[in-house]
Structure 1
Amino acid sequence: MHVVIMGCGRVGAALAQNLAALDHSVAVIDQNPEAFRRLGPDFDGQSVTGVGYDRAVLTESGINRADAFAAVSSGDNSNIIAARVAREVYHVGTVVARIYDSQRASVYERLGIPTVATVRWTADRFMRHLLPAEQTPLWRDPTASVSLVEVRPHQEWIGSRLSRLEAAVGTRVAYLMRFGYGTLPTDSTVLQDGDQLFMLVTDDIVDTVRAVAGSAPEGQADR
Structure 2
Amino acid sequence: MSNVIVVGCGRVGSQLANMLSDNGSNVCVIDRNVDAFANLGRNFNGSTIQGVGFDEETLEKAGVDECDVVAAVTQLDNTNLMCCEVASRLFGVPHVIARLYNPDHERAYMQLGIDYVCGTSLVAEDVFSKVVSGHGAHLDTFGEFEVLRFSLDLSWSERNTIRVAEMERDHDIRIVAFERGDGSASSIPTRESILYNGDSVLACVRHELIEQFSKYIQD
Deviations 1:138-189 (A, max 9, x none): 435378xxxxxxxxxxxxxxxxxxxxxxxxxxx96975xxxxxxx627xxxx
CA distance in 2, matches of 1:44, 1:121: 22
> Are 2:142 and 1:141 aligned?
no
CA distance in 2, matches of 1:95, 1:137: 22
CA distance in 2, matches of 1:172, 1:109: 29
Q: 1:50 to 1:137 in 2, by over 3 A?
A: closer
Q: Tell me the C-alpha RMSD between the 2 structures.
A: 2.8
Task: Supply the AA of the counterpart residue of 1:14.
Answer: Q
Corresponding position of 1:94: 95
Corresponding position of 1:188: none
Deviation, structure 1 residue 42: 1.5
**Contact 1:4/1:27 (CA < 8 Å) preserved in 2?**
yes
Q: Which segments of 5 or more consecutive residues in structure 1 lack a partner in the other structure?
A: 123-135, 144-170, 176-182, 186-196, 206-223
The 3-state SS of whatever aligns with 1:74 is coil
CA distance in 1, matches of 2:147, 2:6: 24
> Are 2:170 and 1:184 aligned?
yes
Task: Supply the AA of the counterpart residue of 1:62.
Answer: G
Q: Percent identity of the aligned residues?
A: 33
CA distance in 1, matches of 2:143, 2:51: 38
Task: Supply the AA of the counterpart residue of 1:111.
Answer: L
| Segments ≥4 residues shifted beyond 4 Å | 119-122, 171-175, 197-202
Q: Which segments of 5 or more consecutive residues in structure 2 lack a partner in the other structure?
A: 124-141, 150-163, 178-187, 189-219
Q: 1:119 to 1:44 in 2, by over 3 A?
A: closer
CA distance in 2, matches of 1:83, 1:41: 28
CA distance in 1, matches of 2:61, 2:145: 36
Where relative contact order (Cα < 8 A, 6+ residues apart) is larger, the structure is 2
Matches within 5 A, 1:2-151: 2-118=3-119, 138-141=144-147
CA distance in 1, matches of 2:55, 2:9: 16
CA distance in 2, matches of 1:45, 1:27: 6
Task: Supply the AA of the counterpart residue of 2:37.
Answer: F
CA distance in 1, matches of 2:94, 2:49: 21
